[in-house]
Structure 1
Amino acid sequence: MESRTKCQWQFPQGNRNIGAIHDQNRNISFLIFRQIINIMKNRLSVNILTALLVLFPILFSPSESYSQRRSNNKQEKEKRDSKEGKRELKMEDVLKWNRITESALSSDGKHIAIKLEPWKGSATVKLYNNKGAQLFHSDSSGTIAFDYYGKYLFFKKEKSKEGQDSKNGYNLGMLSLDDYNAEYFENVKNFHAPVKKGGMLFVWKGDSTLNVTAPGTESRTLSGKIHQYSVSENENSLLTTQGGAVVKYEFPSFKTDTIWKGKGKIHSLSLNEDGSQAAFLAGDTLYLNVGDKQAYMIANGVSQSRKLKFSPDGTKLYFGFKIPLPEKDTTIEKDDFPQVHIWNWNEKTQFTQQVVDKERDKKASLLAVYHLDKGSYYTITNENVSDAILVDKGDSPLVVAVSDTDYQMESMWTGRSKYDVYLIDTYLERALFALKGIDGYPRISPSGKFLYWYSAPDSSWATFSMDTKEQKLVTLPDVLPVFDNENDVPDWPSSYGAAGWSKDDKEFFVYGQYDIFKVDPDGNEQPVNMTVNGNSSGITYRYLEADPNEEFVNFDGNALLMGFDNNTKGYGYYLLGVKGEQPKTLYNGNFMLGTPVKAANDNSWIFTKERFDQFPDIWYSSNDFSKNTKITEANGQQGDFIWGSAELVEWTSYDGVQLQGVVYKPENHDPLKRYPVIVNFYDKNSATLHSYRTPEAHRSTVDYHWYNSHGYVIFNPDVVYKDGYPGESAFNAVMPGISKLIEEGIADPERIGAQGHSWGGYQVAYLATRTNLFAAIESGAPVVNMYSAYGGIRWGTGLNRSFQYEHQQSRIGKTPWESPLRYMENSPIFTMDKVNTPILIMHNDQDGHVPWSQGIEFFVALKRLRKPVWLLNYTGEVHWPQKLKNKIDFQLRMKQFFDHYLKDAPAPQWMEPGISAIELETKTGY
């Protein structure tokens, strides 16, 4: 049995004042205060001592009473808000809040299109020029896309109310960017926009006709009923099924060729890049067409679940063979067939996981390749080698086959897997070499010269040369630390990631905590710091792809970087300097920036910029981001509402660790007033200081803007963890952060609540057993009994839960039989008698992440102890409510719960006296 480490509530290190002890109006000195505590601490529980420590500064306040200050400040604030004409956010306002769910920049950089969508209501497509003038708008129900030349905008349009019940599809708009007139195609099932040079617009309609248009010319309708179609990558060829025939078209000539007629259901149409080759299935028979020849059969027993894929050079066709399913025992009648699950201790895959994956596994296939020049195929994977990676996009005859079969059992407990890797020559039909038990999933460099992976046990990137067959660690941790040095789970630290490879695989670019490094993949040269000053300046640099289709990273002096300032939490765009120089600042500040999108044929960009008080609207910029124009105003109504501000705060944990968090204050925050506070946290979130946090009926957390608008302060503290002590780690991090808010006069110590979900739900449940400071706590989908949770199942995936306690988020680091005390002292269920805080639990009966029984254990224990507790179960919902009506309900009830305990609002009926099962069929009890 382990010895138990006790944690006493103590002053934050480095600042031993609580509240405003140093205030000249105080009538009690700190020395006397400390003597009183020393006398009493041997007689009081930790919880009572905690309450005294935070309440003493308020009890010994200046001459003006606290209640008087609250009343006066409330009157002053109401006058200010009334004068400014602002009001509190209501839920109906939140539901009208817009999101930009799609955005696009025309290839010439002259037009920007967005899809604007509220949480409840119809979406709208809007078109702007690059000066910010709105040129067009229409209701929309889906995708927006520009054509290659930037001459047309395509968008799905809502049908009229009369046509909404039609099963024939939607309406497609084609807007000319010359005169901004729109042409509409009705009853569209599917369309393919012309995004390639010389490409065509294909519109497949509900009556199975297919319209083909070169934008700007008259549309042509292909003859016959089209049941399926596939477009070549260059958009100049089309493969269709018409009745029992497969017909190929070439454009712009509209040349037609029937390449096959026969029996069998036709599906899985595929064309190579230039449309000169076609493949399809008739039943489970694979046919191939080359040029003007008739399609011919090349294999039987082919699966339609794996997409047919030509290599870019057209020399190979990849497909999958069906895996035969077990034959049914026909000797047993259907009604007599037993319904049983049989779990086996030797199964490499947990039976529950097999059940979840069963339908997917029934469709599994064995990867095969057909070599056109040989006229034969080779099967690459088998029952033990289930995955394969194509080299050089499939142009190479080499394939990397990957298997985790021998490590599946082990991965149940570790949460990670090892892999056996085989290099196979599909042309020669043999394996060239094997790597056994590598700890990291392998990838292929773009030119196919190296295998590479992050080897977690070595905290290093590893490469394997296809040429020399040598395996090397190319970033030794004592030379170049590429591992997460803030890792706080009982497992090997993960990497910071990689930017990519240079042309011809000559150089490999990896990330450190701050900088980007050039690494020799052969391991012969020393790493080179490409960004120079990241570590010294506290800026984390990351590479931005200007072209999403680029294969290689170009660090020749024009590479665009994203920078994150770890001190201010601000973002910026930077240009990589020449060798030996630090990156050039293009645009930065105290805001958050999104990944910019470049025009395909112009040196212009669109990007988003946001702060807590500024929605991430679309901005347009020139090549160097020196002139930026705001394009959209998605939520102009924001100025009508009382809003909030975000500030960074710092404190020291009881473990002596410097921590940060974000405090969100209501607009017109009065520094002389103390506010009700809700502490909401998960692990580390201070990096999101400038995140907008769009108002939303959230599924699992308080809405910061909604609560700010109603006079609440929200506090989101960072937490760092010590292996084996996740609960105490949360206590040691969060409590002195709260005392900092009390000390600074922000928090009313009598009106502090806490809220968290899942991992956050566990932590606030744990805090309820350690302190009486909180006036109310909402705990969503919490684990309260780590013993029973350890042996449970994550029903959404079928995985057992052991690995997350031994190696991941739950951070115990050992099994219950190795360290039973750790499981007990981190489980709130064993100290429920210490809870004196009203608790609202939300846990749903179909939760696939955390067993619903955990929420039940929490509720029943508190009810048995006659402690105030409520449980919300959104029946049929998973880890969180997904239906909008249930998310709204959750937010309304949680707000009523906090309003009751933190703002003295009357309790709603569902809380007091309660609402019965019969009553819930007819009313909400709000």
Structure 2
Amino acid sequence: MMIKKILPLVFLLSAYGTYAQEKTSPAKAPAPMNWKDISSWRSISTFSVSLSNDGKWVAYPITTREGDGELVVKKVNDTTIRKYPTGGASFVNFSFSDDGKWLAYKEASKYSEIQAAAKTPGKQLFDKLILVDLATGKQTTIERAGSFSFNNKKSSHLAVSIVKERSGMPKPDDAGGTDLLIVELATGKILNIGNTGEFSFNKEGNYLAYTIDATNKSGNGLYIKDLASQQTTVLDNDKAVYKSLGWNEEGTAFALLKLTSDEKYKTEKGVVMGVKNIGKSPALTSYDPAKDSLNFPAGQTISKNRRPYWSEDLSRLFFGIAPLELTKKEDKPAADSAKKTVDAAPKLTEAQKLENLRKDTAIKSISDLKNALAKLDTAKPKAAPAVTKNNATKPDMIIWHWQDKRLQSRQQVMEMGDKNFTYSGMYDVATGKFKQLNDSSSRSLTILPKQKYAVVLDDRDYELDINLDGQNYSDLYVVDLKDGSKTLLEKKFYMPSFTSRPQPSPDGTKFVYGKDGHYYVYDLVAKTSTNITAAVPASFVNTEDDHNVEKPLTPVVGWSSDSKTILIRDLWDIWQLSLNNKTAAVNLTKNGALTKTRYAGRYSLDPDEKGIDLSKPVYISLYGEWNKKSGIGRLEGGKNGLQPGIKQLVWEDARIHSLSKAKNTGVYMYAKEKFNEPTEFYTSNEQLTTAEKATANAPDKNKYTWSAGVQLVDYVSDKGDSLQGALFLPAGYEKGKKYPTVVYYYEKMSQSLHAYSNPDFPGGGWNPGMYTSNGYAVFMPDIVYKMDDPGMSAVWCVLPGVKAAIKTGVIDENRMGLQGHSWGGYQTAFLVTQTNMFKAAAPGAALTNMISMYDLIYWNSGGGNMSIFESSQGRFKGGPWENWDSYQRNSPIYHVKNVTTPILLLHNDKDGAVDFTQGIEFYNALRRLKKPVVMITYKGENHGINKLENRKDYAVRMMEFFDHHLKGKPAPDWLKDGIDKLKLDEHLEKRAF
């Protein structure tokens, strides 16, 4: 017994001694980050930092690429910090209760266990759910946890679904229900509801709606539980599947679907259900299209692919409509194979027809009955797919036709979307009437707030041309949902950018849209259209958009909550505009154009808001176009709208972003970062004057060297445009010393001056922080484009920018390299045909022949490249046959004989954006001319590299390539001599890490 007691004490003393020794030993000097260090690099995902609704806690996961992470929970303005292990998952699912007193998070298996399981087919791993009482730190663990949710405002219960243990592979008809645990937070008592399918709490949190999905559908149904009384009400039972359950925003009603199977159809038959009067006597409304042959379209059903919902006034239900797909002949039993035709619907006896008519609740008069009988008499059977007499195998082919509005490749990509497309239906509860809201002439229907009106953008007459030249046109219609009437507002409505599209007011009676360089408001009630920008002493045309489109507009900031005012920004300032032009427009921010500060947009701090409340302060994002500062400003609210004059709350030589607010109190949080300082979050008061650091990102950052700082380089392009470039200094920078430099670009890049680059294995191989850590300077210049000269524009902008950067004394003009991916890859491939300033270039996924690329396909979308060249990034007027000299002049392949720069070319064989042939053309031309080129292809990879092992490999090879040519390091074997195919496996095995 004595021995057993002493041993742990000895262990503790030993551990303490080691800790003390480590604390007193000299710290290691920071070292350049190696690519292998990234595997264990720990950092915050900036999108996952969460502030509790009471403003007392901040939680954020710290994860690593190949290892285990943790969830950090810190008390605001306090030293209390708790850390919880989260396993090897790259994403951590966690949530605060609405009152901020509880935290729930999931802990995955360890990274090593996940890796081992991946090598064992069928191996099942489970997550744990940990419930934390934030006041005491007490934890409760629930094994095999799936989805979970607190009960919103009440914060009294937690629901957790339990993941089933599999025995073999799941079958399509297996029941989806599982155990649902309801945890009473105050007492820790747990209620188990078996075979639960879907579940959802209402907004108030006093009711739980859920479905049962049991084996053989026994007991399947819809239930609602009153959490206060613990009373459960059965709302519906049937041998059906209940799904797509969703509450309305107020939490006073919910809707869902009930689906039943019929062996004659592949498609499940749908019924829409709505429940309201929650808290009183729940009223269930059910609409079954099978009982409405008078109004519901034949051969259709309610779609399972769209979630139904209530109108805001709870008078109507909205849902999707889709075709009933007959079971194909080959799917039927052999006894049925001799049949040559089948009806569109199953053949019914006269008695069955009469019985169906008797059940049809839509028939309420003799006139209705006559119409239904006439519909039955005129229904004609449809022919089944032809079956060859000799059971010959059908060819597998595609027919491409010149009049196809969408390329066959586009149709293939969109096949499932087209197949699952649903039209919109509406059921009026009071009248018991169904109405189909759109058809093939109005597929793009958008229902506006309050569900009284809708808008339709019908591009059928222009779809072919849109897919050819990229200029977007549609006929703009207004739909009155009361009677379904459709009114044409604009014929061939031109949308040069998304900003021109209709944007509805919060009350749903108006929308703003862009036309011919102005904004108009259409009043749906008065049926009038008003130009609201004509009298404003500012232009809302985005003159900085250099694509081949006409008068693209700057964006709408938002509608006021009373739907009487609109905020719109020009290139610099935000304007407050009335809808009737009787009140003069007000420049709220005043000095944007004067100080070259862009008031870029508004922070929406209330997720439940309906428009902008102009009586309250509004927070605005600030960006200094020429000094690259950023920050947050505030406009004060007032009775007559926002008050002119903005107050700068935060304004720094840093990137300031991601402002949020605690829902139930006046605690605010925002993020700040610099190129060499990881993103951190700060909590503060409403004036942002009491900022306290709330996160501790990148805990290992002091082990490594970082960029010594940044410089902004001003220059003028060869065409007279004033531009800038961001120059990132190498770690350990010494003034007067010149450094090897990599130049990187993608259109405008100087705005990246203060953007933090988290160490990672990027999909294109490029990570600027890794290069500055390893002694490189990095320069990112801006490019602006002239029409018909996308390649030459890079020459006119990049080369003057580099020359200006050389004058800083940082860059060694004899050791400069180029890198870019995709469009940046194109610029790189083109630049090396126009200059010999650079000693190495690494274009990734580059367009190299603008003429052949024009007629190829963007396989990721299935669309043709023509529209990209004519109205998007290509910036050409017309096709090559109309503009041959421009296309040829800007194609790297036609100037390839000029190349003297060693090239590392990346092009993957399944690139769905820039066809693999573009890389092959460039590589073979360079090889034919015996130019120094190495091309790397990762099998099966797309436009960017996805697989981790390939990302690692390319990142290392690119740096080896630049190290050799810019630092003089020995060339690795693959770069010096290449690798024979027979030796490739051995080569790759040695390099893998």
Report the TM-score when normalising by structure 1. 0.87
Q: Which residue of 2 aligns with 1:249?
A: 224
Which letter maps to 1:256?
A: T
For residue 867 of structure 1, report the CA deviation from its aligned partner.
Answer: 0.8
Which letter maps to 2:289?
A: A
Structure 1 range deviating more: 910-919 or 144-153: 910-919
Q: Which residue of 1 aligns with 2:668?
A: 605
1:158-173 alignment, distance < 5 Å: 158-159=108-109, 167=124, 169-173=126-130
CA distance in 2, matches of 1:161, 1:763: 40
Which letter maps to 2:456?
A: A
Instruction: Give the total of aligned pairs.
Output: 841
Q: Which residue of 1 aligns with 2:340?
A: none
CA distance in 1, matches of 2:525, 2:284: 41
Q: Which residue of 2 aligns with 1:315?
A: 315
1:592-638 CA distances to partner (integer Å, 9 max, x unpaired)?
11121100111011211111121111211122111111122212322
CA distance in 2, matches of 1:119, 1:433: 54
CA distance in 1, matches of 2:112, 2:588: 61
Q: Which residue of 1 aligns with 2:271?
A: 286
Given that residues 277 and 314 in structure 1 are in contact (C-alpha distance below 8 angstroms), is that contact kept between their aligned partners in structure 2?
A: no
Structure 1 range deviating more: 219-228 or 324-333: 324-333
1:230-249 alignment, distance < 5 Å: 230-235=200-205, 236-243=207-214, 244=217, 245-249=220-224
Indicate which of 792, 802, 813 corresponds to 1:728: 792
Indicate which of 778, 787, 794 corresponds to 2:851: 787
For residue 647 of structure 1, report the CA deviation from its aligned partner.
Answer: 0.9
Distance 1:784 1:572, change over 3 A: same
Q: Which residue of 1 aligns with 2:817?
A: 753
Q: Which residue of 2 aligns with 1:873?
A: 937
CA distance in 1, matches of 2:842, 2:739: 19
Given that residues 677 and 713 in structure 1 are in contact (C-alpha distance below 8 angstroms), is that contact kept between their aligned partners in structure 2?
A: yes
CA distance in 1, matches of 2:579, 2:542: 21
Which letter maps to 1:538?
A: K
Distance 1:200 1:497, change over 3 A: farther
1:181-222 CA distances to partner (integer Å, 9 max, x unpaired)?
211111112112333345642111124111123422333324
Q: Which residue of 1 aligns with 2:962?
A: 898
What SS does structure 1 have at the residue aligned with 2:974? coil
**Is 2:161 aligned against 1:204?**
yes
For residue 430 of structure 1, report the CA deviation from its aligned partner.
Answer: 2.9
1:683-720 CA distances to partner (integer Å, 9 max, x unpaired)?
11111211111122111152212111221111111111
Indicate which of 200, 218, 226 corresponds to 2:188: 218
Q: Which residue of 2 aligns with 1:115?
A: 61
Given that residues 569 and 590 in structure 1 are in contact (C-alpha distance below 8 angstroms), is that contact kept between their aligned partners in structure 2?
A: yes
Q: Which residue of 1 aligns with 2:479?
A: 424
Structure 1 range deviating more: 178-187 or 580-589: 580-589
Indicate which of 113, 133, 137 corresponds to 2:79: 133
Given that residues 168 and 206 in structure 1 are in contact (C-alpha distance below 8 angstroms), is that contact kept between their aligned partners in structure 2?
A: no
Given that residues 475 and 488 in structure 2 are in contact (C-alpha distance below 8 angstroms), is that contact kept between their aligned partners in structure 1?
A: no
Distance 1:471 1:628, change over 3 A: same
CA distance in 2, matches of 1:285, 1:804: 41
Distance 1:879 1:466, change over 3 A: same
Q: Which residue of 2 aligns with 1:550?
A: 609
**Is 2:230 aligned against 1:174?**
no
Which letter maps to 2:568?
A: V
Structure 1 range deviating more: 119-128 or 492-501: 492-501
CA distance in 2, matches of 1:84, 1:190: 44
Structure 1 range deviating more: 905-914 or 436-445: 436-445
What SS does structure 1 have at the residue aligned with 2:194? coil
Q: Which residue of 2 aligns with 1:85?
A: 29
Q: Which residue of 2 aligns with 1:652?
A: 716
Indicate which of 138, 147, 153 corresponds to 2:103: 153
Which letter maps to 1:262?
A: D
Structure 1 range deviating more: 259-268 or 844-853: 259-268
Q: Which residue of 2 aligns with 1:184?
A: 141
Which letter maps to 1:350?
A: L
CA distance in 2, matches of 1:723, 1:648: 27
Report the TM-score when normalising by structure 2. 0.81
For residue 399 of structure 1, report the CA deviation from its aligned partner.
Answer: 2.6
1:484-633 alignment, distance < 5 Å: 484-541=542-599, 542-556=601-615, 558-577=617-636, 581-633=644-696
Distance 1:600 1:296, change over 3 A: closer
For residue 139 of structure 1, report the CA deviation from its aligned partner.
Answer: 2.0
Given that residues 238 and 250 in structure 1 are in contact (C-alpha distance below 8 angstroms), is that contact kept between their aligned partners in structure 2?
A: yes
Distance 1:484 1:295, change over 3 A: closer
Q: Which residue of 2 aligns with 1:705?
A: 769
**Is 2:327 aligned against 1:268?**
no
Given that residues 270 and 280 in structure 1 are in contact (C-alpha distance below 8 angstroms), is that contact kept between their aligned partners in structure 2?
A: no
Given that residues 145 and 161 in structure 2 are in contact (C-alpha distance below 8 angstroms), is that contact kept between their aligned partners in structure 1?
A: yes
1:437-448 alignment, distance < 5 Å: 437-440=492-495, 441-448=501-508
Distance 1:95 1:459, change over 3 A: farther
Q: Which residue of 2 aligns with 1:463?
A: 521
Which letter maps to 1:431?
A: K
For residue 539 of structure 1, report the CA deviation from its aligned partner.
Answer: 1.5
Which letter maps to 2:288?
A: I
Q: Which residue of 2 aligns with 1:413?
A: 468
Q: Which residue of 2 aligns with 1:479?
A: 537
RMSD: 2.4
For residue 266 of structure 1, report the CA deviation from its aligned partner.
Answer: 3.6
CA distance in 2, matches of 1:594, 1:922: 47
Distance 1:526 1:701, change over 3 A: farther
Structure 1 range deviating more: 799-808 or 247-256: 247-256
CA distance in 2, matches of 1:593, 1:294: 50
For residue 658 of structure 1, report the CA deviation from its aligned partner.
Answer: 1.9
**Is 2:890 aligned against 1:826?**
yes
1:7-44 CA distances to partner (integer Å, 9 max, x unpaired)?
xxxxxxxxxxxxxxxxxxxxxxxxxxxxxxxxxxxxxx
Q: Which runs of 5+ in 1 are unaligned?
A: 1-81
For residue 669 of structure 1, report the CA deviation from its aligned partner.
Answer: 1.6
Q: Which residue of 1 aligns with 2:38?
A: 94
CA distance in 1, matches of 2:602, 2:971: 53
CA distance in 2, matches of 1:751, 1:173: 54
Given that residues 459 and 477 in structure 1 are in contact (C-alpha distance below 8 angstroms), is that contact kept between their aligned partners in structure 2?
A: no
What SS does structure 2 have at the residue aligned with 1:494? coil
Larger RCO, structures 1/2 (Cα 8 Å, 6+ apart): 1
Q: Which runs of 5+ in 2 are unaligned?
A: 1-25, 118-122, 165-177, 261-268, 276-280, 291-300, 329-383, 496-500
Given that residues 617 and 635 in structure 2 are in contact (C-alpha distance below 8 angstroms), is that contact kept between their aligned partners in structure 1?
A: yes
Given that residues 679 and 752 in structure 1 are in contact (C-alpha distance below 8 angstroms), is that contact kept between their aligned partners in structure 2?
A: yes
What SS does structure 2 have at the residue aligned with 1:401? strand
Given that residues 380 and 401 in structure 1 are in contact (C-alpha distance below 8 angstroms), is that contact kept between their aligned partners in structure 2?
A: no
CA distance in 2, matches of 1:668, 1:600: 44
Structure 1 range deviating more: 893-902 or 488-497: 488-497
1:298-377 alignment, distance < 5 Å: 298-300=288-290, 301-323=301-323, 329-332=385-388, 336-377=393-434
Structure 1 range deviating more: 824-833 or 662-671: 662-671
Structure 1 range deviating more: 789-798 or 139-148: 139-148
**Is 2:777 aligned against 1:689?**
no
Given that residues 484 and 496 in structure 1 are in contact (C-alpha distance below 8 angstroms), is that contact kept between their aligned partners in structure 2?
A: yes
1:247-278 CA distances to partner (integer Å, 9 max, x unpaired)?
31222222222233333444333444545554
